[in-house]
Chains A and B, each alone.
Chain A
Amino acid sequence: MIQTLTSTSSAALAASNRRIAKQGRTVQVSIKRCDGPNKPSRWETFKVTTERGMNVISALMQIAANPTTIDGKQTTPPVWDSGCLEEVCGSCTMVINGKVRQSCSCLLDDYVPNEGDTLTLEPMSKFPVIRDLWVDRERLFHNLKRVKAWVPIDGTYSLGAGPRETPAKQETRYKLSECMSCGCCLEACPQFNVEEDKAQWDTSFIGAHAISQARLFNEHETGKQLKDERIDVLMGPGGVNDCGNAQNCVKVCPKHIPLTESIAAIGRAVTIRSFVKFFKG
């Protein structure tokens, strides 16, 4: 089970931890490793000497440069995924001390403030592992295709400006559009499960991420032309009805996307569409 902390309590915890953290301390980093698909997992623990402002990625870089475990065993450098290192690309999601989050914005001072503390790093469990901490999130992008998460423009020729938009509308859409497809909301969701068989993807629960993206495009003047098609998908198998309303998703979203609002909005649209379909026969 994923342990979720609300953002205020984790901020308070972080602040108090940072105060006690001394630089140059030695902490342990335990990594759940796996050499590839269908290979067994194992745990390996490394010593890391902290530097100021060190995050999980820099700890991994230190380990990779000289991969020796605490038992003095020479091993291979751990494998992980990262990109921007400033929490905007969504690459580096992993499960850290049991909590899913971005590793680039995870500071050692917050998580392991004392000499000898242990940090555990695991790959996300809802996506197939490629190697070590790197998982295959292709399904997440596939789900964006399912809901046609785009504006169907006429083409790239010069046709003047797009539709005008009120600042309020822009703010709503901008918030939704900040989603970086990181997968935290899917990892935390009890209804979303790992599915290696691609043939099952189109009927498995689509998750909060894509539901919210469907809402984003339904809210756009041109994007709404595909609204019925999106809603049809979301009222089908693996759609919004599979959501158990556990609300874990919204608690772990690093971009604070109003996911439960999106789920409710799409839920309403599904209800309306079912009525329309029912009466039209």
Chain B
Amino acid sequence: MAKQRVIVVGGGLAGLSACVRVAEAGVDVDLFSMVPVKRSHSVCAQGGINACNEVARQQGYSEYEHFDETIYGGDFLADQHPVLEMANWAPKIIDLLDRMGVPFNRTNEGYRDLRLFGGSLFKRTHFAGATTGQQLLYALDEQTRRYEADGKVNKYEFWEFLGPVVSDGRCVGIVAQDMRTMQVRSFRADAVVMATGGCGLVYGKSTNSVVCTGAAAARCFQAGAWYGNPEMIQVHPTAIPGADKLRLMSESARGEGGRVWVPAIKGQDGRWGKHPRSGEDPKKIPENERYYFLEERYPAYGNIVPRDIATREIFDICVNEGMGVANENQVYLDLTHRDPEYLARKLGGILDIYEKFVGDDPKFTPMKIFPAVHYSMGGLWTQFSKGSYNPSEPRDKHKSGTRAPIGAEVGMGMEYGSPINSSTNIPGLYAFGEVNFAYHGANRLGANALLSCLFDGLCCGVSVVNYVRSAEVSKAPAEMLTSSAYDAVVEQENAKIKRFTDTVGKADASPLFNPYQIHKELGQEMTAACTVVKSAARLEQCRTKIAELRDRFGKVRLGDAATWTNQTLSYTRCVGDMLLISEAICLASIERKESRGAHYRTDYPTRDDANYMKSTVAKFSKPMQSTVIELFEIDASLIRPTARTYGKTDPVGAGGAASKKVASPEV
């Protein structure tokens, strides 16, 4: 009998947990990653991972409440059954990580310690120092290495996925390129799991790592996979602007009294206007020339307004009012009025990051911060098979701390092991982790991302195994197929490469066709039009700009024709794919004429459940080389939607992330 194989593309938390689960079930895995898997973007996660736990449970919390919070936090856009299953699995996932040796912080008695995080009244976030993502990734990396040493996992590190191989409507392998030798070749597999993470780089700079371009997803999209809720992009209010990257600055800086302001001059009419010396030493700006806009605009909440509001206001000051510090996209986050010793004690670690990368000590100089693109709720569209819990009508929102209406057995949310769980519309092609659009709806709660990655790998990994073992797939194993489909994609990719390298030293040398320049302009345009505040007019302008950039990309000129380790080639190819993801984000933003979660339209400022409690689904038409957006019904059969207010009437706030006096970092 032919030996069956599974390919996993991506070695972040989602990819590695899938790898371990599939290999454990006795199916060999080929693991592809552009970086050694231990260096995947998941290492960046700091805050923690959510799960119901014994202490919280005895205080009235439950898996069901975790589910309810996630649906509510996502503003009722996520399909509900998969989220229920994820919440139910969470405590078991933490136990497993614990067994793998993750050094979770401990209480005096040696139990796992917990912290409070945005979106919940209960301590339900598990953490390992300030580097939870790193510690979880390492645990999975170690288990993967164990299977690798046993010959059950084969790693292809520094290999770039170029596209799926689809034959007779089924995904039967991939085409990939060795980033060192530049060899392009196809690989056969009975199923392929995409676990390639987010797409922060389409915004130029973000909090993401350099490989988070979304290109891998865009390549599946062009091969016919659908892309769900592209417009749902999470922007974090406080990041440190940098020439290369925007690094996260924890929300706790505001929680500890940080004040947000810009230098400005108050006119006769009482309106604030630009300051002529904005950008000069902030300590020399007198008090009456400081515009504390959050405090002024939101007297009750002040600097601790909820996260989305803080983001929107900072954006408004810089982009619309042009009052950013030194005329750039940045505002001051000022802690200098606090006692330096107190700051060192309470915020030491995070202030060190600022000092390390910016060079200023925030205890004595106001920090410069700006919102940054942080996470993509959208991703490849996936399906699921409903589990056993199917009430005759949806329940009302769960009252925090009350008894859970149902238990938390495996299989209530999703049918365990069903081959369609987390499968894209192309049979045999799966999407796990951040590249999967499921679970987070219109807004992700802090510390739920790592959970969704592991849940996909561990729960839906079994679905992949069942798929490859199904009668239909086993009777036509990839190993036995003719080579024509494989040869065709290799040829197609080689032709594309030749088209790029042929431009070296020949094509028009104008900067208009420089890939770095195209990417830079794309990032600026996307940041201005498709992040915090959107409107029809601005989005249309963005659509035109993307079309212009796509045109220019057609004449792109490379600076390196090397046939060995040509990073320029890889980068340029990614820029082309980023243009497509950007277009999907822009078009879906135009289509969604309402405001929901992270998507805020000035021309449609309220949520419209009647028309838009639906997923936007982008489909790519190959002949037209264009994208269309459709609306899909969602599964909202478990909880009835309510307004997402986070108890706004209460000035200190009952439940909101940033509305707490001492806001915990929601990252």
Q: Does B39 lie within 8 Å of A83, measured CB to CB?
A: yes
Q: Does A162 lie within 8 Å of B98, measured CB to CB?
A: yes
Shortest Cβ distance from residue B183 to the other chain A in the assembled complex, whole angstroms: 14
CB of B101 within 8 Å of the partner chain:
yes
What are the interface flags for B95-120 relative to A under an 8 Å C-beta threshold, 1 for contact and 0 otherwise? 11011110111111111100000000
CB of A145 within 8 Å of the partner chain:
yes
CB of B129 within 8 Å of the partner chain:
yes
CB of A243 within 8 Å of the partner chain:
no
Shortest Cβ distance from residue A78 to the other chain B in the assembled complex, whole angstroms: 9
Q: Could you say which residues of chain A place their CB within 8 Å of the CB of B148? A: 145
Q: Does B106 lie within 8 Å of A166, measured CB to CB?
A: yes
Q: Does A18 lie within 8 Å of B245, measured CB to CB?
A: no
What are the interface flags for A49-71 relative to B under an 8 Å C-beta threshold, 1 for contact and 0 otherwise? 00111110110010011110000
Q: Does A161 lie within 8 Å of B98, measured CB to CB?
A: yes
Q: Does B247 lie within 8 Å of A86, measured CB to CB?
A: yes
Across the interface, B92 reaches (CB within 8 A) one of A52, A58, A158, namely: A158
Q: Could you say which residues of chain B place their CB within 8 Å of the CB of A89? A: 35, 38-40, 43-44, 209
Q: Does A91 lie within 8 Å of B39, measured CB to CB?
A: yes
Q: Could you say which residues of chain B place their CB within 8 Å of the CB of A32? A: none
What are the interface flags for A150-186 relative to B under an 8 Å C-beta threshold, 1 for contact and 0 otherwise? 1111011011111011110110011001101100000
Q: Could you say which residues of chain A place their CB within 8 Å of the CB of B129? A: 174, 178
Across the interface, B41 reaches (CB within 8 A) one of A53, A84, A110, A138, namely: A84
CB of A209 within 8 Å of the partner chain:
no
CB of A130 within 8 Å of the partner chain:
yes
A166 to B356, CA, bound (A): 32
A109 to B356, CA, bound (A): 11
Q: Could you say which residues of chain B place their CB within 8 Å of the CB of A52? A: 243, 358
Chain B residue at smallest Cβ distance from A170: B106
CB of A149 within 8 Å of the partner chain:
yes
Q: Does B43 lie within 8 Å of A76, measured CB to CB?
A: no
- Partner-contacting stretch, out of A215-223, A233-241, A262-270: A215-223
Chain A residue at smallest Cβ distance from B38: A181
Across the interface, B96 reaches (CB within 8 A) one of A18, A66, A156, namely: A156
A87 to B128, CA, bound (A): 17
Q: Does B357 lie within 8 Å of A53, measured CB to CB?
A: yes
Across the interface, B101 reaches (CB within 8 A) one of A90, A151, A156, namely: A151
CB of B135 within 8 Å of the partner chain:
yes
Across the interface, A53 reaches (CB within 8 A) one of B20, B35, B358, B562, namely: B358
What are the interface flags for A123-150 relative to B under an 8 Å C-beta threshold, 1 for contact and 0 otherwise? 0000000110010111001001100111
Q: Could you say which residues of chain B place their CB within 8 Å of the CB of A222? A: 99, 101
Q: Does A220 lie within 8 Å of B101, measured CB to CB?
A: yes
Q: Could you say which residues of chain A place their CB within 8 Å of the CB of B41? A: 83-84
Q: Does A57 lie within 8 Å of B106, measured CB to CB?
A: no
Chain B residue at smallest Cβ distance from A146: B149
Q: Does B242 lie within 8 Å of A150, measured CB to CB?
A: no
Q: Could you say which residues of chain B place their CB within 8 Å of the CB of A51? A: 243
Give residues 175-193 of B contacting A (CB, 8 Å). Answer: 180
Q: Could you say which residues of chain A place their CB within 8 Å of the CB of B143? A: 150, 153
Across the interface, B149 reaches (CB within 8 A) one of A79, A145, A174, namely: A145
Q: Could you say which residues of chain B place their CB within 8 Å of the CB of A65? A: 514, 516-517
Q: Does B135 lie within 8 Å of A174, measured CB to CB?
A: yes
Q: Could you say which residues of chain A place their CB within 8 Å of the CB of B564? A: 35-36, 131
Shortest Cβ distance from residue A94 to the other chain B in the assembled complex, whole angstroms: 15
A254 to B138, CA, bound (A): 18
CB of B473 within 8 Å of the partner chain:
no
Q: Does A55 lie within 8 Å of B357, measured CB to CB?
A: yes
CB of A88 within 8 Å of the partner chain:
yes
Q: Could you say which residues of chain A place their CB within 8 Å of the CB of B99? A: 151, 153, 159, 161-162, 222
A162 to B139, CA, bound (A): 13
CB of B401 within 8 Å of the partner chain:
no
Across the interface, B211 reaches (CB within 8 A) one of A61, A83, A110, namely: A83
Give residues 125-168 of B contacting A (CB, 8 Å). Answer: 128-129, 131, 134-135, 138-139, 142-143, 145-146, 148-149, 157
Q: Could you say which residues of chain B place their CB within 8 Å of the CB of A35? A: 562, 564
Q: Does B131 lie within 8 Å of A86, measured CB to CB?
A: no
Q: Could you say which residues of chain B place their CB within 8 Å of the CB of A55? A: 242-244, 357
CB of A107 within 8 Å of the partner chain:
yes
Across the interface, B559 reaches (CB within 8 A) one of A77, A82, A141, A162, namely: A77
Q: Could you say which residues of chain A place their CB within 8 Å of the CB of B417? A: none
Most buried by A among B39, B106, B242, B565: B39
A162 to B101, CA, bound (A): 8
Q: Does B105 lie within 8 Å of A53, measured CB to CB?
A: no
Shortest Cβ distance from residue A61 to the other chain B in the assembled complex, whole angstroms: 6
Q: Could you say which residues of chain B place their CB within 8 Å of the CB of A162? A: 95, 98-101
Give residues 420-456 of B contacting A (CB, 8 Å). Answer: none
CB of A119 within 8 Å of the partner chain:
no
CB of B210 within 8 Å of the partner chain:
yes
CB of A105 within 8 Å of the partner chain:
yes
A160 to B357, CA, bound (A): 41
Most buried by B among A88, A151, A156: A156
Q: Does A178 lie within 8 Å of B106, measured CB to CB?
A: no
A241 to B111, CA, bound (A): 38
Shortest Cβ distance from residue B420 to the other chain A in the assembled complex, whole angstroms: 22
A220 to B157, CA, bound (A): 29
A159 to B43, CA, bound (A): 26
Would A178 and B134 be within 8 Å (CB), given that A64-B516, A83-B209, A85-B245 are in contact?
yes
What are the interface flags for A94-116 relative to B under an 8 Å C-beta threshold, 1 for contact and 0 otherwise? 00000000001101011000000
Across the interface, A155 reaches (CB within 8 A) one of B24, B101, B245, B357, namely: B24
Sample (28) of A-B pairs whose CB atoms are under 8 Å apart = A51-B243, A76-B562, A83-B39, A84-B41, A86-B353, A88-B131, A89-B44, A130-B565, A131-B562, A134-B565, A145-B145, A148-B146, A150-B142, A153-B99, A153-B143, A158-B92, A159-B95, A161-B98, A162-B101, A165-B110, A166-B106, A166-B110, A170-B103, A174-B103, A178-B129, A180-B134, A222-B99, A222-B101
Residues of A with Cβ closer than 8 Å to B? 14, 18, 35-36, 51-55, 57-58, 61, 64-67, 76-77, 79, 82-91, 104-105, 107, 109-110, 130-131, 134, 136-138, 141, 144-145, 148-153, 155-156, 158-162, 164-167, 169-170, 173-174, 177-178, 180-181, 217, 220, 222-223
By Cβ-Cβ distance, the 10 closest A-B pairs, closest first, are A162-B98, A58-B243, A150-B142, A164-B110, A65-B516, A131-B565, A162-B99, A151-B101, A58-B244, A174-B103
